[in-house]
């Protein structure tokens, strides 16, 4: 197992000691040239087409300042190609309205909350991946986190909701909290704001979603009839934010809806219509870099491309979206054991995950999902061959090869794969 995926030991280094080892400064000219060259090669490789160099430079230049994580090292930038070994990356969705007040209203008085917290794990052999969601109202222990201005550290907290970690100590604090919670080392992280979701959905030409029963949500202005809808920009964002118009109106069913959207987004990105279109590839790269705060470890376009390449050839059925198992507690939810620990022990062991539970109360199977033909049932026998005449009566049936299902998760873990087609269970105003 690669070092970056090993569980953190109880005797890990003091946070302050790790945090103060920063990267050595390079000249602005050298950094610009290195990123320019790496970005040019990365875009050409991923898209399969030669995109103008100025466009690649625009992607690199659009990235905001990166964030240093406590466990980052000064390892070499990977060469162009799939990243070596496995990946653990935390993706945080911020509700910050800074710079977006005209459309989304003034900044929330509660601060910058991470209402979406997801862990992406790519296996060491790049055969499978998982995206694990943590409910925003889940109570967790928050470790001592370094202050973003470098003036010291915040005290550890025994029990706070996970969505307060971004306000408490920034992206690095959210990473430290999830590391403590799961026992995993997470060297990569990204924070995306509202504008990022809008830009990504628009970059791919819209994301198709299925609605089983009508969605009515006055809070987000989302009103969708049953059927399929292709959403992009503001409509896509509001679909992801909607809660009152789904299932039981809770955050757990909103996660079900987000998994439905992400599954469809993965299918859309992996489709030939996207990968073969250099304009879409460029727009997607620009959407990612311009609308996300990335950890130092992700600030290289080469690193971003190498992770994308590792994901590119994973079968849709081997990309699992899962929600951590939780139970109700006063004011929120808490982890359910032993299912919670079993889930992350499987991730730490780099085992493929197999779901045994439902997709959750917020979604259901799409009755119109495409069905792949059965190769056995559709095989056409030769008109001149009599199977009975050619069969060897002494032959034994060959053993059937079975795919390794890895670890079968508890039924309390809800979710779906990127290959599963699901529909949102909407809720009308009269039921709210």
Q: Where do the domains of the chain lie?
A: 3-368+406-431
Reading phi first (left if > 0) and then psi (alpha if -120 to 50, else beta), residue 350 is in left
Does the global pTM surpass 0.85? no
Q: Which pLDDT value is given to residue 171?
A: 94
Reading phi first (left if > 0) and then psi (alpha if -120 to 50, else beta), residue 412 is in alpha
Residue 209 burial by CB count (10 A; 0-12/13-18/19+): exposed, middle or buried? buried
The CATH number assigned to the domain with range 3-368+406-431 reads 3.40.630.190
Distances (CA, A) of 101 to 106, 223, 355: 5, 23, 40
> Which of the listed ranges 32-41, 256-265, 268-277 does the model predict with the highest average pLDDT?
256-265
- Length of the chain as a residue count: 432
Asked if residue 96 has pLDDT above 50, the reply is yes
Min mean pLDDT across 64-68, 106-110, 226-230, 307-311 is at 106-110
Confidence of residue 25 (pLDDT cuts 50, 70, 90): very low
Closest by Cα among 259, 258, 250 to 416: 259
Tokens of 199: 């830009």
Tokens of 40: 């040019």
Maximum separation of any 2 CA atoms in the chain, in Å: 84
Q: Within 10 A of 372 (CB to CB), how many other CB atoms are there?
A: 6
Tokens of 281: 């590839």
DSSP-assigned states of every residue in 400-416: PP-----EEPPTT-EEE
- Quick check: 196 and 287 in contact, CB under 8 A? yes
> Which of the listed ranges 34-43, 71-80, 112-121, 221-230 does the model predict with the highest average pLDDT?
221-230
Distances (CA, A) of 14 to 71, 176, 181, 227, 295: 10, 12, 17, 53, 20
Asked if residue 284 has pLDDT above 60, the reply is yes
- Quick check: 119 and 89 in contact, CB under 8 A? yes
Distances (CA, A) of 57 to 44, 274, 298, 341: 13, 21, 16, 43
Confidence of residue 69 (pLDDT cuts 50, 70, 90): confident
Asked if residue 364 has pLDDT above 70, the reply is yes
Our CA angle for 58, 62, 68, nearest 5°, is 135
Q: Which pLDDT value is given to residue 148?
A: 81
Asked if residue 382 has pLDDT above 50, the reply is no
Confidence of residue 293 (pLDDT cuts 50, 70, 90): confident
Q: Tell me how far apart the alpha carbons of residues 38 and 59 are, in angstroms, rounded to a whole number.
A: 12
Q: Which pLDDT value is given to residue 221?
A: 96
Q: How much of the chain, in percent, has pLDDT values that exceed 90?
A: 51
Average of pLDDT values for 256-283? Answer: 87
Q: How much of the chain, in percent, has pLDDT values that exceed 70?
A: 72
Hunting for tokens 């060259």 — which residue is that?
Answer: 37
Min mean pLDDT across 62-66, 165-169, 244-248, 257-261 is at 62-66
- 320 bridge partner residues: 130, 417
Q: Say which DSSP state 370 is in.
A: -
Min mean pLDDT across 31-35, 75-79, 132-136, 223-227 is at 31-35
- Quick check: 409 and 228 in contact, CB under 8 A? no
Average of pLDDT values for 343-357? Answer: 97
Closest by Cα among 275, 216, 264, 214 to 242: 216
Confidence of residue 180 (pLDDT cuts 50, 70, 90): very high
The torsion angles phi and psi of 248, rounded to 5 degrees, stand at -100, 10
Q: Tell me how far apart the alpha carbons of residues 10 and 27 are, in angstroms, rounded to a whole number.
A: 38
Q: Which pLDDT value is given to residue 50?
A: 33
What average pLDDT does the chain have? 79
Q: Say which DSSP state 114 is in.
A: E
- Quick check: 331 and 323 in contact, CB under 8 A? no
Average of pLDDT values for 33-59? Answer: 40
Q: In what order do the strands lie in the sheet with 87-94?
A: 292-294, 188-192, 87-94, 114-122, 129-134, 319-323, 414-417
Confidence of residue 33 (pLDDT cuts 50, 70, 90): very low
């Amino acid at each position: 197992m690669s070092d970056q995926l090993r569980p953190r030991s109880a005797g890990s280094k003091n946070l302050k000691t790790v945090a103060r080892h920063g990267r050595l400064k390079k000249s602005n000219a050298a950094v610009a040239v290195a990123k320019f060259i790496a970005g040019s090669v990365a875009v050409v490789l991923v898209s399969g087409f030669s995109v103008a160099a100025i466009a690649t430079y625009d992607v690199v230049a659009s990235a905001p300042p990166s964030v240093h994580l406590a466990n980052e090292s000064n390892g070499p930038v990977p060469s162009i190609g799939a990243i070596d070994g496995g990946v653990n990356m935390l993706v945080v969705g911020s509700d910050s309205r800074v710079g977006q007040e005209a459309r989304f209203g003034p900044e929330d008085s509660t601060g910058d909350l991470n209402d979406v917290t997801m862990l992406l794990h790519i296996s060491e052999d790049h055969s499978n991946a998982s995206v694990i969601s943590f409910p925003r109202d889940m109570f967790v222990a928050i470790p001592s986190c370094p202050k973003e201005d470098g003036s010291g550290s915040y005290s550890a907290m025994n029990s706070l909701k996970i969505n307060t970690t971004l306000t408490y100590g920034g992206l690095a604090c959210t990473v430290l909290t999830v590391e403590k919670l799961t026992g995993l080392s997470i060297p990569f992280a990204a924070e995306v704001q509202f504008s990022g979701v809008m830009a990504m959905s628009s970059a791919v030409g819209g994301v198709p979603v299925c609605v089983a029963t009508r969605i009515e949500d006055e809070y987000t202005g989302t009103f969708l009839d049953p059927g399929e809808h292709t959403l992009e920009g503001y409509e896509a964002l509001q679909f992801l934010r909607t809660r009152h118009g789904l299932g039981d109106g809770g955050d757990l069913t909103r996660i079900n809806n987000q998994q439905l959207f992400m599954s469809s987004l993965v299918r859309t990105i992996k489709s030939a219509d996207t990968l073969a279109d250099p304009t879409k590839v460029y727009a997607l790269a620009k959407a990612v870099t311009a609308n996300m705060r990335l950890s130092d470890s992700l600030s290289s376009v080469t690193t971003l491309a190498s992770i994308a390449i590792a994901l590119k050839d994973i079968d849709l059925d081997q990309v699992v979206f899962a929600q951590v198992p939780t139970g109700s507690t006063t004011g929120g939810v808490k982890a359910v054991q032993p299912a919670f620990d079993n889930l992350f022990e499987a991730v730490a062991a780099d085992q493929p995950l197999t779901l045994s539970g439902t997709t959750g109360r917020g979604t259901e199977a799409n009755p119109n999902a495409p069905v792949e033909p059965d190769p056995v049932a559709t095989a056409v026998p030769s008109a001149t061959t009599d199977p009975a005449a050619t069969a060897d009566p002494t032959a034994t049936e060959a053993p059937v090869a079975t795919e390794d299902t890895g670890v079968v998760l508890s039924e309390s873990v809800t979710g779906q794969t990127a290959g599963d087609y699901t529909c949102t269970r909407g809720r009308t105003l009269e039921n709210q």
